[in-house]
Each structure stands twice: as C-alpha cells, then as structure tokens.
Copies of this chain bind each other. A is one copy, B any other.
Amino acid sequence: MSGLSIGQVAERTGLSVHTLRFYEREGLLAQPVRRGTAGHRVYDEGDVDWLGVCVRLRASGMPLTDIRRYTELVRAGQGNEAERLEVLRGHRERVLAQLHELDESLKLITHKVAIYEGRLGLRDTVPDCVP
C-alpha cells in the first residue's frame, strides 16, 4: 500500500519536489526516507503525514529552524515531551497573536471596503426612496 515517489508526495502535500528535497536536507523529516532502485526516494504514509504537519506548521508561520528543532525532539523519542510541549505552546501563542493581528487588519480593511462601496454606491445606484 505504501511506497510513494517524490512526485506523488509532491502532489499529495502540495509541496514541489524541490521543496521536498530541500526540507529533507534541512532535517525536517522524522526518519530518513527509504531509497528504492537507483537511489530514488520512497516515502510511506507516515512520511506524508509528518510532512502534512510540517506544512501546517509552516502555514502558521513557524520558521524552518523551529520545525527542525521539534522534529529532532520527536526523532529523539520518548522522554522529551515537556520540551515538545514547550515548543508547541510557544507556537500556539504566536498563532493566537497572529490571529488577533489579522483580525484587527481585517476590521480596517472591511471598514475601508465599506467606505468605497458606499461612495461608489452613491454614484451607481438610484437613491432609495424612503418609504
């Protein structure tokens, strides 16, 4: 059932094959990828799942160095759960802060959009008859 080529993993994760190799060089993979004939990478579902986590962490702005750090903790196995928790909690804080920032920005943008819609509406639309 398992045994995916880099191209297939690229499709599944939304990363390019370049980025997959780059992430590997950067130490973002929990385990070294298996190699098939001619040294071709052979990924299994576990690899794809882990890459999915990496994608989510990146999407939420975690820098590669932090993802590497977290990966290393996971790779090191049991006994460092407190450290992993610390990394994740730290990141969660940053995500919450980001959400707040984004929300503030959204307010401003929505406000401005409303203003321009109003202005344009005055020109485009026949004024309402007050009933």
Copies in the complex: 2
Q: Which of A68-93 contact B (CB under 8 A)?
A: 81-82, 84-85, 88-89, 91-92
B85 contacts A95, C-beta separation under 8 Å: no
State whether A120 and B59 are in contact (beta carbons under 8 Å apart), knowing that A92-B106, A96-B106 are contacts in the complex: no
Question: 24 A-B pairs, CB-CB below 8 angstroms?
Answer: A56-B104, A56-B108, A56-B109, A59-B101, A59-B102, A59-B104, A60-B102, A60-B106, A60-B109, A81-B119, A85-B113, A85-B116, A85-B117, A88-B112, A88-B113, A91-B109, A92-B109, A95-B102, A95-B105, A95-B106, A98-B102, A99-B99, A99-B102, A99-B106
> Which A residues contact B (CB, under 8 angstroms)?
53, 56-57, 59-60, 81-82, 84-85, 88-89, 91-92, 95-96, 98-99, 101-106, 108-110, 112-113, 116-117, 119-120
